[in-house]
Amino acid sequence: MEELNFEGRTVIVTGAGRGIGRAYALLLASRGAGVVVADLGASTDGMGVDGDDPAADVVAEIEAAGGRAVGVRADVSTPEGAQTIVDAAVSAFGGVDAVINNAGIVRVADWLEVPAEEYQRHLEVHYLGSLWLARAAWPHLKESGSGRIVNTISPAMLGNPMMVHYGSSKGAVYGLTRNLALEGMEHGINVNAVSPGAGTRMAEAAADSLSAEIMEYMRTALTPELVAPLGVYLAHPSSQVTGEAFNVAGGMVNRMAVVNTQGIYDTELTVETIASSFDQIMTINEAAQPQVVAVAAMPGA
Ligand SMILES: NC(=O)c1ccc[n+]([C@@H]2O[C@H](COP(=O)([O-])OP(=O)(O)OC[C@H]3O[C@@H](n4cnc5c(N)ncnc54)[C@H](O)[C@@H]3O)[C@@H](O)[C@H]2O)c1
Q: Is 166 a catalytic residue?
A: yes
How far is the centre of ligand 1, averaged over its atoms, from the C-alpha of 205 (Å)?
11
| pLDDT category of residue 209 using cuts at 50, 70 and 90 | low
Spell out which residues line ligand 1, taking CB within 6 angstroms. Answer: 14-15, 17-21, 39-42, 44, 46, 54, 75-77, 102-105, 125, 129, 152, 154, 196-198, 200-203
Specify burial of residue 207 (Cβ count, 10 A radius: 0-12, 13-18, 19+). middle
Spell out the CATH class of 10-256.
alpha beta
Which atom of ligand 1 is the closest one to the Cα of 17?
Answer: 39
How far is the centre of ligand 1, averaged over its atoms, from the C-alpha of 102 (Å)?
6
What are the tens digits of pLDDT across the range 219-278?
999 999 999 999 999 999 999 999 999 999 999 999 999 999 999 999 999 999 999 999
Domain range annotation of the chain: 10-256, 260-296
Which residue's CA is the nearest one to ligand 1's atom 23? 15
Cα–Cα separations (whole angstroms), residue 253 to 225, 246, 297: 13, 7, 27
Angle between helices 129-144 and 79-93 (to 10 degrees): 30
CA distance 41 to 89: 19
pLDDT at 126 over 50: yes
Residue 46: what residue type? G
Segment 2-20 mean pLDDT:
98
Q: Could you tell me if 39 and 17 are in contact, meaning their C-beta atoms sit under 8 angstroms apart?
A: yes
| pLDDT category of residue 299 using cuts at 50, 70 and 90 | very low
pLDDT at 210 over 90: no
Which atom of ligand 1 is the closest one to the Cα of 41?
Answer: 37
What are the tens digits of pLDDT across the range 47-89?
999 889 999 999 999 999 999 999 999 999 999 999 999 999 9
Which residue's CA is the nearest one to ligand 1's atom 17? 202
How far is the centre of ligand 1, averaged over its atoms, from the C-alpha of 259 (Å)?
28
- The stretches of 146-227 forming alpha helices (DSSP H) are 164-184, 201-205, 212-221
Annotated active-site residue in 166, 174, 233, 265? 166
Supply the mean pLDDT for the chain: 95
Predicted local confidence at residue 212, as pLDDT: 85
Segment 14-41 mean pLDDT:
98
Predicted local confidence at residue 294, as pLDDT: 67
DSSP element (H, E) containing 272: helix 271-276
For 30-40, give one letter per residue: b (16+ CB within 10 A) or e: bbebbbbbbbb
CA distance 158 to 174: 11
How far is the centre of ligand 1, averaged over its atoms, from the C-alpha of 221 (Å)?
19
